[in-house]
Amino acid sequence: MAEHTVSGLKVGLEIHQRIGSGKLFCRCAASIDTKKISTIKRLMHPVKSEFGEWDRSARFEQSRDLNFTYEIYENNCLVELDEEPPHELDADALKVCLWVAKSLNCKPVDIVQVMRKQVLDGSCVSGFQRTMLIATDGYIETSK
């Protein structure tokens, strides 16, 4: 396999994996086998960033003028519907993330900060995703 270099290129890895802990920002059960009890409809609206700028992808999604209907289940709560502030981060979930980071030879950050990323494609009820940087600069040893 040929090696390629691009000046200034940085590549990151984002992993989505269900882990055996509770939900991240509330203490509701994380099971997916509960009974549907209702629906909620939402129309998403972009907001300006901390720098006073509009996110291009959020503006594009708004231009599609879509309404979204979400199913509500017994184990959903006001935090997930963005009707209540998030609770403290689930400690077990953070421990799993730090274990994975250590396994990937990453350097954990000094302070984990929760950030909001706008997501207006209908994939989440609130119109944003909470995200955290846990560690950086990892690597995986291979045979080459």
Rounded-to-integer distance, Cα 118 and Cα 20, Å: 26
Report residue 88 CA to chain centroid gap.
15
Q: Which amino acid is at 123?
A: S
- Residue 82: half-sphere exposure toward Cβ, Cα within 13 Å: 13
Residue 76 falls inside a structural domain: yes
Q: 13-16, long-range: CB within 8 Å, 24+ apart, which pairs?
A: 13/138, 15/100
Which pLDDT does position 4 carry in this prediction? Answer: 67
Pairing of strands 114-118, 36-43: unpaired
Nearest to 140 by CA among 95, 97, 93, 100: 100
Which pLDDT does position 122 carry in this prediction? Answer: 80
In sequence order, what E strands does 57-111 have? 67-73, 107-108
115 bridge partner residues = 131
Residue 61 falls inside a structural domain: yes
Residue 25 falls inside a structural domain: no
Range of the domain at 40: 36-136
Regions in the chain scoring below 70 on pLDDT: 1-4
Q: How many domains does the chain have?
A: 1
Residue 101 falls inside a structural domain: yes
